Amino acid sequence: MQVVKRLLVKGLTMLAVLLIVQFLVVITLGATGYSDRMLEAVISEELRAIRPSLAETIRDPERLEEALTARRDELVALYGLDRAWHTRLPGMVFRVFTLDLGEAHTLRSSSGSNRVADIVGERIPKSMLLLTTSMIVTAAIGLAIGARLSSRAGTVLDRVVSSFSAVSYALPTWWVGILLILFFSFRLGILPSGGMYSAPPPDGSFLRFLDLLYHALLPVFTLVLAGIGPYIYVVRTISVNIAQADHVTVARAKGLSDSLVSRRHILRVAAPPIVTGLVMGFAGTLGGSILVETVFNWQGMGRLYYEAIAGTPDEMVIVALTFVYTLIYVVARMILEVLYVLLDPRVRYG
Amino acid sequence: MAERPSRRIVKELWQSGPGKAGLILLALLAVTSLVVIVSYPRNFGTGYWANPGYWADNPKSAPPAWTNALTREKRPRHLVIDIDEPAVSESTGRAFRRVYSEKSVFDADFPPTFVSFSVSNLQYSRRPPVLTVFLIRPDGGEVTLARRVASGPRQGEEVPYVRYADEPLRESVGADDRVLDSLSRIHGVDRQSMSASLEAALFGISTDEGGFGMLRGEYTLQLEALFQDEDDSLGSVRFVLGGSVYGVMGTDALGRDLALGLLYGLPVALLIGVATSTVSTLLGMFLGMTSGYSGGWIDLSIQRAADIVANIPVLPLLIFLVFIGGSKLWLILLVLVAFSWPGLTIMVRTMVLQLKTGLEVESAKALGASSFRIVFRHILPHAASYVLAQLVFFAPSAILAEAGLSFLGLGDPSIPTWGQILEYGFRTGAVFLGYWWWVVPPGLFIVLTAVTFMFLALGLEPVVDPRLRGRRSWHF
């Protein structure tokens, strides 16, 4: 029962987050007149599309204009442009939820489509690839180093890593990426400065995969470098605290090996708070990935933000991106929440 | 309490290593900011930084001058010569001749990147004066760089006729016939071979291989003005020998002095950090106090709201709101404040709940103290150090958030920040061309400022609670 209640509360909070972000977005769009302009653009688009076919049946130019005006009025009523913007809010929220946001001004998907849903849709897996890879690498390395450090608490190495973790709070992730490009790509010339594939990409799926890996090295490294400090620190501090608990002393007294004690008796107990640490860092990683994608020209959603801001602003693409990022965040938080419940028996039997 | 709490905290900060470093750095940054605020013009952002004309005389994308010490070959420094008074002023019988000239030693291994001159505040009463610009080389060769005649009187214009008062006449020396003719006389080579490397021909001697070697020595830049009347005058003359290194920090692609922009970014960054953290701390504290002290539905709604706001991914929403609302600094700060209060609210509420049932509050109540007095005298002082730690902790996040937003192109164009300098560098490809002096220092400044606050936060740790660390919802 405890589990269900906890997950339900979390789930409702997350749903509220999603809804509130949606309403904030559409209210802003409505109050600033963006939604009116967007709907007007949609209507003119449709009118342009039916004009040739109407012109074939109606010869008289005056009658044609009349028919078009009538059609325009119908569409205005259909989309609710004749009503105040706040009466259209639920409709707009629905449109955002289904990514039914019309067409972008200048941005195109790789297949040439100008629909916002297509443009954003094809970028999601690319962003997810970067995000999940760096999360997993961060978690793995953070666990390994943090656990190791906890048995060396107080040594020089421990202090060095601890201060690195503090300083890494002050590092702008994307600037670290720029430094890495300057060094590895410009100075040494051994790694690509950006993009996802070489031009032209190599033949064969395995070679293409290797090429992708080669291009992902620097962005993943940047994200890991920025996120790992605090994570190591969390793992280390929690493990140090647990290592002093009685059950660990008992385990050691039984003569269990260090690695077994560390795995079964320290890390197992430390697992739930470590997951909490991961949760704390996730929002940062998400934000960091937007900027890191921009720096490395990684063709994901983060880079799309940059492309939609620079040049001709594509506001609907930005609306879609903000929604998808919030969605990803909410889903990831729920997954971590379930993980927490699975790891912490106290929640299940509490 | 014998000592004021603020003094106690500073004293404790001073005793810890990071705390001391943080205090010293903060003092340094604050003093520098004050100097910048006092010495910079009010409209630096709009009138100077965003005005390419102001930087037109500077070399573009030039590394700092001190990099010459690191390379074997010497690149020319940037040289600006301003002359207000003529060296020679004489009457030739038919006209008044004034010569503005200045000698300058040239000893670099590469020619200047460009040569330009400007003239301002020209005044005449009858006939427009004739201006001729010369370069006199160490070997005695004389090159006529340009000859200009100011525009004649307009219909209905009154005497004296003033030219180039608002906007100086500014010209770069180009490969025109007059220049090439005098150069081919000096070098004895045909004009074709020089038009491609005009500056090398101006400041060099032709070698047997067909190129030019640099001719080191004393050059004279000279402008001769022939006036009709004695009262005709010329305000000032400027010669620029474009360098390929510049100043302490180099320049960007518009020729802007990066040192000036980087310094200006300091008070802006401090303002962003301090303003955001102060307001959001006050807000968080107020909500936490209200929530904890009042209880009931107020408590419940504040806690639910805190839960939700704490879980909103900030950067995407920040991008959206600033994109729609316009790139204004106050809007960026407002949005940051709106999303940064929940952590403190939750913490303060917990503390208030503990203190509320404690003996101190109970005794105060028994003595008939008002709720207001209880909150301010018996609860707030206990929470003060937590609140202070949070205040220090917010500041770097705000600075980093603004920098990230500026990097995406959403920075306030009227207020140059480090993030914007980086953005311009990134957009124009400085990163991929290896212009390190343009992209490394702004980041270092961001890190330095953020680290200052981090040090202070670390120093506060013994004062407060070590578990505070890592409680930050956003960090890019």
**A67 plus A11 within the same structural domain:** yes
**B301 plus B419 within the same structural domain:** yes
**B328 plus B383 within the same structural domain:** yes
Give residue-wise pLDDT tens across range A14-40.
888 888 888 888 888 888 887 787 778
Q: Residues B259, B261, B266, B271: what is their CA dihedral angle, to the nearest 10 degrees?
A: 170
Q: For chain B, what is the mean pLDDT?
A: 85
**A67 plus A6 within the same structural domain:** yes
Over A197-219, what HEC string results? CCCCCCCCHHHHHHHHHHHHHHH
**Three-state secondary-structure class, residue B225:** strand
Query: Confidence class of residue B470 from pLDDT cuts 50, 70 and 90?
Result: very low
**B324 plus B231 within the same structural domain:** no
B128's tokens? 């427009």
**A74 plus A145 within the same structural domain:** no
B454 or A39: whose pLDDT is higher?
A: B454
A146 or B462: whose pLDDT is higher?
A: A146
Smallest CA–CA distance, residue B390 to chain A, in Å, is: 14
Look-up of token digits 């220090």: B392
**A275 plus A202 within the same structural domain:** yes
Q: How far is C-alpha B170 from the geometric centre of its chain's CA atoms?
A: 25
**B92 plus B176 within the same structural domain:** yes
% of chain A surpassing 70 pLDDT: 99
**B262 plus B152 within the same structural domain:** no
Residue of A nearest to B318 (CA): A322
How many domains is chain A built from? 2
Mutation pick from B336, B423, B476 vs chain A, by most beta carbons of A within 10 Å, is B476
For residue B5, the model assigns a pLDDT of 65
Mean pLDDT, rounded, for A272-296:
84
**B308 plus B448 within the same structural domain:** yes
Left (φ > 0), alpha (ψ -120 to 50) or beta: where does B161 sit?
beta
In a domain, A108, yes or no: no
Q: Which domain holds residue B399?
A: 8-50+257-468
Point out which residues pair with B133 in neighbouring strands: B146, B223
For residue B417, the model assigns a pLDDT of 93
Residues A294, B408: C-beta atoms closer than 8 Å: yes
Give yes or no for residue A44 having a pLDDT over 90: no
Task: Give chain B positions within 8 Å (CB) of A182.
Answer: 431, 434, 436, 439-440
Residue of B nearest to A171 (CA): B447
Q: Does B472 touch chain A (CB under 8 A)?
A: yes
Q: Which domain holds residue A64?
A: 2-97
**B385 plus B416 within the same structural domain:** yes
Q: How far is C-alpha B297 from the geometric centre of its chain's CA atoms?
A: 49
Boundary residue ending a domain (A45, A63, A97): A97
Dist. CA B202–CA B187, nearest whole Å: 10
Give residue-wise pLDDT tens across range A45-72.
788 888 888 777 877 888 888 888 888 8
Mean pLDDT, rounded, for A319-343:
87
**A9 plus A56 within the same structural domain:** yes
**B449 plus B313 within the same structural domain:** yes
For residue B84, the model assigns a pLDDT of 87
B64's tokens? 């700092």
In a domain, B431, yes or no: yes
Smallest CA–CA distance, residue A253 to chain B, in Å, is: 30
Point out which residues pair with B149 in neighbouring strands: B130
Q: Does B185 touch chain A (CB under 8 A)?
A: no
How many domains is chain B built from? 2
**A197 plus A93 within the same structural domain:** no
User: CA A50, A51, A53, A58 torsion: positive or negative?
Assistant: positive
What DSSP string runs through B89-139? EEE-SSSEEEEEEEEEEE--SS--S-EEEEEEEEEESSS--EEEEEEE-TT
Q: Does B307 touch chain A (CB under 8 A)?
A: yes
**Three-state secondary-structure class, residue B235:** strand
Mutation pick from B408, B436, B453, B468 vs chain A, by most beta carbons of A within 10 Å, is B408
User: CA A246, A249, A255, A259 torsion: positive or negative?
Assistant: positive
In a domain, A104, yes or no: no
Q: Does B413 touch chain A (CB under 8 A)?
A: no
**B426 plus B324 within the same structural domain:** yes
Mean pLDDT, rounded, for A144-169:
81
**B35 plus B175 within the same structural domain:** no
Task: Give chain B positions within 8 Å (CB) of A317.
Answer: none
In a domain, B20, yes or no: yes
For residue B262, the model assigns a pLDDT of 93
The shortest CB-CB distance from A28 to any of B324, B434, B469 is to B324
% of chain B surpassing 90 pLDDT: 21
For residue B380, the model assigns a pLDDT of 80
Q: Residues B193, B198, B199, B203: what is their CA dihedral angle, to the nearest 10 degrees?
A: 60
Q: How far is CA A84 from CA A43, A44, A264, in A?
A: 17, 20, 62
Give this complex's ipTM: 0.85
In a domain, B60, yes or no: no
For residue B473, the model assigns a pLDDT of 41
Chain A with chain B: Cβ pairs closer than 8 A? 168
For residue B471, the model assigns a pLDDT of 43
The shortest CB-CB distance from A20 to any of B308, B439, B453 is to B308
Contact yes or no for B446/A173 (Cβ under 8 A): no
- To the nearest 10 degrees (0 to 180), the angle between helices A124-150 and A315-343 is 40
Residue of B nearest to A226 (CA): B476
Query: Confidence class of residue B59 from pLDDT cuts 50, 70 and 90?
Result: confident
Mean pLDDT, rounded, for B292-308:
88
Dist. CA A264–CA A243, nearest whole Å: 12
Query: Confidence class of residue A284 from pLDDT cuts 50, 70 and 90?
Result: confident
**B417 plus B308 within the same structural domain:** yes
- Counting beta carbons within 10 angstroms of the beta carbon of residue B151, is it exposed (0 to 12), middle (13 to 18) or buried (19 or more)? exposed
Mean pLDDT, rounded, for B151-177:
83
Task: Give chain A positions within 8 Å (CB) of B440.
Answer: 179, 182
**A67 plus A196 within the same structural domain:** no
Give yes or no for residue B468 having a pLDDT over 60: no
Give yes or no for residue A114 having a pLDDT over 60: yes
Boundary residue ending a domain (A53, A81, A97): A97
Look-up of token digits 């930005």: A318
**A160 plus A33 within the same structural domain:** no
Q: Does B461 touch chain A (CB under 8 A)?
A: no
Give yes or no for residue B469 having a pLDDT over 70: no
Give residue-wise pLDDT tens across range B179-189.
888 888 888 77
In a domain, B131, yes or no: yes
The shortest CB-CB distance from B476 to any of A32, A287, A322 is to A287
Task: Give chain B positions within 8 Å (CB) of A333.
Answer: 311
Query: Confidence class of residue B476 from pLDDT cuts 50, 70 and 90?
Result: low
Boundary residue ending a domain (B241, B270, B302): B241
CATH number of the domain encompassing residue B396: 1.10.3720.10
In a domain, B62, yes or no: no
pTM: 0.85
Q: How far is C-alpha B221 from the geometric centre of its chain's CA atoms?
A: 32
The shortest CB-CB distance from B321 to any of A28, A283, A313 is to A28
In a domain, B362, yes or no: yes
In a domain, A198, yes or no: yes
In a domain, B101, yes or no: yes
Residues B476, A284: C-beta atoms closer than 8 Å: yes
**B179 plus B233 within the same structural domain:** yes
CATH number of the domain encompassing residue B234: 2.60.120
